[in-house]
Amino acid sequence: MIQPGSIIEFIDNGIFHCALVTAYTERRLRLLSHSGRELTLPEARVLSVSRELFPWDNRNAAMALLKERGEKRSSIAAGIVLDDLWAIASAEDEDCFAPEFLAELHYGAAPSDDERAAFLRAVFADPFYFKYRNSQINVNSAEQVEQLRHQREQEATRARQLEEAAQWLQRLMQGEQITTADWPDYDQCLSLLQDFALDQSADDAADLARNMLKKAGLTAPDAAHQVLLAAGIWDRDENLSLLRSDHPLVFSQESQNIAASLLEAKVEELLADPKRQDFRHLHTFTIDAEGTRDYDDALHVATVDGQVQVGIHITDVSWYVPPKSPLFSEAQERATSLYFPEGNVPMLPEELSLSVCSLIQDQVRPAFSFLFTLDEAGEIQQSRITASIICVQRQLSYREADALMESEPELKLLNRLRLKLRQNRLDKGALLLSLPDVSFDIRDRNQIGVILQPVETPARSLVAEMMIQANAMAAEYCAMREVPGLFRSQPPPRRRLLDGANNSLIDIARQRQFLSRGELTVHPKPHSGLGLNSYTTITSPIRRFLDLVMQLQLGHVLTGKGMLFSAEQCKTFAGILQQKLARAAAIKQQRHRYWILRYLEAREGERLKAMVISSNPKRVSLLLCDCLYDVDLPPNPSFPVEPGDTVRIRLTRVRPMDNTLRLEW
């Protein structure tokens, strides 16, 4: 039993404390600390007990005594070196000793109360040689000491590196130009911070990056990004959603070599193919957005014997990319090209997509031609699909085509046909959900602009209608021959709100909320949204893997080789595509939101015009009018709204880097 008046020591939060025992009851001690605080402590937590007893009735004197003894013991402990003692103790047969025995061995005589307590403090302070456990002191083996020594050296090295890294990072953030010649670990450090910025997990590498930034005084949530910005590794608007994904950003060397070799493909080889029809004499032309570099479709139209002949010509990428090519495998992994305001990530190497696979003016190209004739009433009389050879004679932008739509006979004729084809689809239940395309003007990164481009201009609608026609022809061709493939379908909307072509913005926005999810199937099914019994996509093989697969399948059937892909193979493609396209959609959605936030960033605090799309007791769905972005707010009981209402909502906080958008009524 510990006597009242004893000075005991215990550890609390890693710190040694001296206290004077004032009472002992059922293995619990009542104590007075050096600060004058009274406390209770289990006897099991006591590390040392003085032999000498001291009065405790004079509180101030007791507190002074405890303070003096604590300081004395700390001073003695600081001068204790344990390596010699360990050398002696480790030579013994025993590996566990009483603290009093080792203390006496260290001092060479019976230690005082203060010396015994100081010895224990030294053991706890440096567990290199000894470890205190269950009132005994264990002697570490030579192997344990060596392991601890190695660990300590590593920790010292790491601390030194952290300190060095912090100093260099501070200098970097102050605008200094730093190279690996100045700091050998520069590249390694930036790579570590790059990984951390993309994935702030809880592994050792993330902890190191976090400690490095903290040591440098860089504690902002986007501190790693700011460092990478200062180093010129990233820019302000780095596409983090793309970098965080597993979407491939570079092509293998093998694929690059194959793409380079295809640039030397001989026109003579193409012209010698007896199964291709030579359409180089036709007046074919492209219509695309300004700045387009990968042209994958061209048109022609002519009047012959009172009938209109139309040709939709799609570049034959399958001629360059067979199924066993590494290019095919890489296209499958990517599934689609990704287009961003700041740049693109192509599905195929640009050596192909911008060159031999692109329908460039005055260049001979392989193609698939979708041909049909119409009578004077605009009804399709006959149609066929053939592998072909074309040479585009003219390239127009949407703006140029719109300007010529009423004056140039070919365009005027195609425009009348476009209206007829669209009306046919509307009569079959098609939905026209033609919201303007949202694009961004990022030339001035300090003032992001939003461009709302109408999609129902004559030229844009013309091209869209022709591509729908070609895709539908391909799907029908396969369906009639029971050829499996990759078909797009869509069940009817859960609720139909639209009928016809002239629909308002609110009607279109509301209808979108009731659309059924599209499906990708091996055999054709109706596509309600397009008003078609069967549908696929084959018109963008440069940028869509689905279209490339369908070109390969269609090409084999057309040339009498039979099916290239079985239904099971097509099912496998569909499964892969659904996964990869979901990834691509997430990347594009996140990046679109980022640029929306960058646009809104400059308008924080303003009231924005919004249209109410729907309202229920839990949320109000709105569409920001100037950028066509969907947002939600909880209902405001004092401000009831109805679908179609136009309101003003306040933009309270916008932080693009951490994806923050806050609005209020």
pLDDT at residue 501 above 80?
A: no
Query: 3-state class of 608 per DSSP?
Result: strand
Whether 265 has a pLDDT exceeding 70, the answer reads no
Beta-carbon count within 10 A of 53 CB: 13
Residue-wise pLDDT tens digits, 39-62: 999 999 999 999 999 998 899 999
User: How far is 547 from 335, CA to CA, in rounded Å?
Assistant: 10
Say yes or no to pLDDT of 553 above 90: yes
pLDDT value at residue 378: 67
Classify residue 558 as exposed, middle or buried by CB count within 10 Å of its CB (0-12, 13-18, 19+): middle
Residue 267 — φ and ψ, nearest 5°? -65, -35
Which among 74-88, 577-591, 630-644 has the top mean pLDDT?
A: 577-591
CB 105 within 8 A of CB 88: yes
pLDDT in tens, 319-358: 999 999 999 999 999 999 999 999 999 999 999 999 999 9
At 123-167, the pLDDT tens digits run: 998 888 999 998 999 999 999 999 998 988 888 888 888 898 999
Convert the pLDDT of each residue in 282-327 to its tens digit.
999 999 999 899 999 999 999 877 788 999 999 999 999 999 999 9
The per-residue pLDDT for 91 is 87
What is the model's pLDDT at position 69? 95
pLDDT at 515: 92
Mean pLDDT of 117-122: 95
Q: Is the pLDDT confidence value at 471 over 80?
A: yes
Cα(416)–Cα(418) distance, rounded to whole angstroms? 5
> How do residues 514-546 score in pLDDT, each as one tens digit?
999 999 999 999 999 999 999 999 999 999 999
pLDDT of residue 217: 93
Instruction: List the Cα angle 323/565/579 in 5-degree steps.
Output: 75
Q: Which residues contact 423 (CB under 8 A, 6 or more apart)?
A: none
DSSP annotation string for 176-219: ----TTT-TTHHHHHHHHHHHHH---SSHHHHHHHHHHHHTT--
For position 348, what pLDDT does the model report?
97
Q: What is the DSSP string of 262-306?
A: HTT--HHHHHT-TTSEE-TTS--EEEE-TT-----EEEEEEEETT
| DSSP codes joined into one string, 384-443 | EEEEEEEE--EEEEHHHHHHHTTTSHHHHHHHHHHHHHHHHHHHTT-----PPEEEEE-S
Closest to 212 in 3D by CA, of 172, 262, 258: 172
Go through 473-486 and write b for each residue having 16 or more CB atoms within 10 A of its CB, e for each that does not: bbbbbbbeeebbbb
- Is the pLDDT higher at 379 or at 232? 232
Confidence band, pLDDT 50/70/90 cuts, at residue 626: very high
From residue 50, how far is each of 66, 113, 124 by CA, in Å?
A: 12, 5, 18
> Of 242, 370, 223, 227, which Cα lies nearest the Cα of 310?
370
Closest to 601 (Cα-Cα) out of 214, 237, 120: 237
- pLDDT for 652 equals 97
In this predicted structure, the answer to whether residue 460 has a pLDDT above a threshold of 90 is yes
Q: Note the pTM of the prediction, 2 decimals.
A: 0.79
Q: Per-residue pLDDT tens for 363-384?
A: 999 999 999 998 766 678 899 9
Overall average pLDDT of the 427-436 stretch: 91
Whether the CB-CB separation of 315 and 359 falls below 8 Å is answered with yes
> Taking all residues of the chain, what is their mean pLDDT, rounded to a whole number?
93
Confidence (pLDDT) at 26: 84
